[in-house]
């Protein structure tokens, strides 16, 4: 039996999240169907976390065990034949036996995109959150800095408590403003960027995430960006431990699982020593985002 580590990218728009569900399209369901068709045996795929309905991924990590003997790279090429076009296997690596994509993870990074412009673009709707009013990104960053470090994030958790603990450590959280390459502009032959047209990119890294945590933080920071709340207000919301005080849950359309981190013993295929315990403590009973 071999253990493989896959890195997936997918457009989550038409899926009901990662986890397989009866009579509903899911990422896990599509992947396991493709695996069975490719290798001729039933394979169970375990993801680093169960993304919610409509959430996308750039670097979702999946582990699986199989008796198939073809080279690892053949899985990437072979699964392309059986997977829907909105799910892509970016990489496949053989790893030491015992690797588990969820329980051996030590951190994740999520990305959220806000199209900040007075006029919506229909082409961006499935992949961003459109917000028409101007947002003060510098103040949003100052408020976001209040979240860095180890805190109880129950104020940003849907349906608390849905995990054993709401304490998480945020290691980095940053807002940037990116230009929009407007290829949808009539007659555009080169990148066209309108002066007031921009994409807000929020990236946050932590040792674990609660259900809807990133989207709740984004919804809160939009209030900050519009001048309704201050960084001090965000600090008070965090300390209060009350979800009712924070902002709305931002739509799933703008959220991407960017990457997942693992101990070096799992990243290097030539190492076979298993870590003594998993640092990342998700119990597999609830969604991440």
DSSP string, 93-115: EEE-TT--TTTT--EEEEEEEEE
Annotation marks residue 136 as catalytic: no
Task: Give the Cα separation of 287 and 163 in Å (integer).
Answer: 9
How far is residue 243 CA from its own chain's centroid?
21
Residue 273's closest CA among 288, 260, 263?
263
First to last CA, the chain: 32
Under 8 Å CB-to-CB from 113, ≥6 apart: which residues? 127, 128, 129, 199, 200, 201, 202, 254, 256
Point out the catalytic residue in the list 11, 23, 52, 270.
Answer: 52
Task: Give the Cα separation of 219 and 254 in Å (integer).
Answer: 12
C-alpha angle 114/117/119, rounded to 5°?
Answer: 120
Ramachandran angles phi, psi of 221, nearest 5°: -70, -25
Residue 133's closest CA among 8, 227, 2?
227
Which residue(s) pair with 118 in the sheet? none
Annotated active-site positions, please? Answer: 52
């Amino acid at each position: 039996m071999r253990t493989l580590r896959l890195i997936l990218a997918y457009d989550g728009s038409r899926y009901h999240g990662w986890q397989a569900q009866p009579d509903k399209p899911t990422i896990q369901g599509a992947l396991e169907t493709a695996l069975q068709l490719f290798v001729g045996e039933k394979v169970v795929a375990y993801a680093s976390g169960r993304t919610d309905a409509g959430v996308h991924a750039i670097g979702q990590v999946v582990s699986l065990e199989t008796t198939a003997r073809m080279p690892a790279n053949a899985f990437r090429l072979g699964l392309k034949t059986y997977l829907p076009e909105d799910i892509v296997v970016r990489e496949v690596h053989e790893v030491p036996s015992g690797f588990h994509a969820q329980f051996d993870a030590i951190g994740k990074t999520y990305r959220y995109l806000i199209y900040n412009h007075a006029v919506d673009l229909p082409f961006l709707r499935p992949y961003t959150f459109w917000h028409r009013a101007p947002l003060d990104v510098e103040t949003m960053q100052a408020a976001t800095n209040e979240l860095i470090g180890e805190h109880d994030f129950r104020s940003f958790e849907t349906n608390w408590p849905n995990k054993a603990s709401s304490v998480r450590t945020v290691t980095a959280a940053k807002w940037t403003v990116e230009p929009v390459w407007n290829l949808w502009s009539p007659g555009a032959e080169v990148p066209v960027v309108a002066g007031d047209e921009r994409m807000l990119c929020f990236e946050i890294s932590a040792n674990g995430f609660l259900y809807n945590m990133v989207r709740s933080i984004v919804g809160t920071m939009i209030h900050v960006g519009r001048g309704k709340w201050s960084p001090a207000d965000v600090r008070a919301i965090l300390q209060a431990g009350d979800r009712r005080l924070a902002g709305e849950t931002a739509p799933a359309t703008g959220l991407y699982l960017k990457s997942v981190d693992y101990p070096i013993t799992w990243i290097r295929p030539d190492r076979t020593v298993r870590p003594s315990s998993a640092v990342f403590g998700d119990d597999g009973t609830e969604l991440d985002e």
